[in-house]
Structure 1
């Protein structure tokens, strides 16, 4: 199943100023049953060395987002060595995890979604999750996230652009558990452009999100 997509006007090397105006939700893209899901999981089985770092600052009680055993993801290059940027990346990853978790739970109102997302991003993600759940689908497989670029916009906000590889993630019928495998193509790769704002609990919430499938900046 496809993650919602909209044209991205900011490429991976875009400036922070461009990212401020480029990010937006992709609420209107309706995924079809034969398409793939894009998602992420901070609590799934993966190489810990590639995991986003824990967030810093005032710690909130974070939701448990344990995904099914057949749903995994990998973060590549998700640590910069800068504690602030690593905290931003950590929650950017968790925002993706929350979307996938909501899909696997079959609940567009899953609290984890609102914990890591807000504003336009939350509205778009909730609508997208509902469309997947209503179609009777979930997904199985692995999604790889790579090539993250972080720009601090000010003390409490940041822009993050990154890529995802969905070539090993497939549609799964929620009732029959049947997995429909489709061949990889340029459409298996997605570019994400996001804005994150730090809330009072110290969580970097994704507030704006834009994505483009098959974008040349992320395809092999």
Structure 2
């Protein structure tokens, strides 16, 4: 099976008002049965330089480290708009921070609460704790594509994107068993996220919704 478990979809939900806001920006909310295309999302993006999981982004920003057998690849990092690029980079760091917490088996990692806040942080903690309770981790490569940033003023933004989990797999830490069941439509997930720039100038993911198997993300 691909590495994301159904519990993620239950954990990562938006309030009705936030979901409508994201939907207006071209994405779906997790409670909708509609499978509309992401408005304005590019297709066929080539991978560009993405934040290294081990890269420290200066100042007091925490370092994020991955094991050698796991990797996230982010496409569409450079848009030509510096502000949008900063938001997309923050989105990648938010995702990496959640996965680092899974690898370390801890919901108290510095990066998790640095790049995530509010509902997104509480949902991420619940998601990571599910891995911890089952003594699981994941290996392989997860690809993030069709990433689109929408700015709202100087300190608000939204990012819609897809994930391809067809080459990443759940591994049990105790037994070492890796579940490599064949990929399905559910290996592809549509995400809508809201970000806010905090007082320290850090873009944090504050809300997130996901829809597994969405047509907008299918190959």
Shared fold (TM-score, shorter chain, > 0.5) = yes
| Cα distance in 2 for residues equivalent to 1:107 and 1:20 | 34
| Cα distance in 2 for residues equivalent to 1:130 and 1:22 | 26
| Cα distance in 1 for residues equivalent to 2:117 and 2:29 | 13
| Cα distance in 1 for residues equivalent to 2:58 and 2:29 | 27
Report the 3-state secondary structure (helix = DSSP H, G, I; strand = E; otherwise coil) of the residue aligned with 1:178: coil
- TM-score (structure 2 length as normaliser): 0.78
| Cα distance in 1 for residues equivalent to 2:109 and 2:29 | 24
Look up the match of 1:18.
24
1:5 counterpart (6, 9, 27): 9
1:150-208, Cα deviation, whole Å (9 max, x unpaired): 11111101010000000000010112322111111110001010000001221110000
Of stretches 81-90 and 174-183 in structure 1, the one that deviates more from structure 2 is 174-183
Residue 20 of structure 1 and its aligned partner are, at CA, apart by 10
Stretches of structure 2 that go unaligned for 5 or more consecutive residues are 15-19, 32-45
Contact 2:4 2:165 in 1 (8 A): no
Residue 105 of structure 1 and its aligned partner are, at CA, apart by 0.2
Look up the match of 1:83.
82
| Cα distance in 2 for residues equivalent to 1:66 and 1:48 | 21
Residue 63 of structure 1 and its aligned partner are, at CA, apart by 1.1
Superposition map of 1:193-212 within 5 A: 193-212=192-211
Look up the match of 1:108.
107
| Cα distance in 2 for residues equivalent to 1:62 and 1:208 | 21
Report the 3-state secondary structure (helix = DSSP H, G, I; strand = E; otherwise coil) of the residue aligned with 1:64: coil
Look up the match of 2:170.
171
Superposition map of 1:32-181 within 5 A: 49-52=48-51, 60-181=59-180
| Cα distance in 2 for residues equivalent to 1:24 and 1:217 | 14
Contact 1:71 1:140 in 2 (8 A): yes
Report the 3-state secondary structure (helix = DSSP H, G, I; strand = E; otherwise coil) of the residue aligned with 2:89: helix
Q: How many residues are paired up?
A: 190
Stretches of structure 1 that go unaligned for 5 or more consecutive residues are 9-13, 26-46
- TM-score (structure 1 length as normaliser): 0.78
Contact 1:60 1:202 in 2 (8 A): no
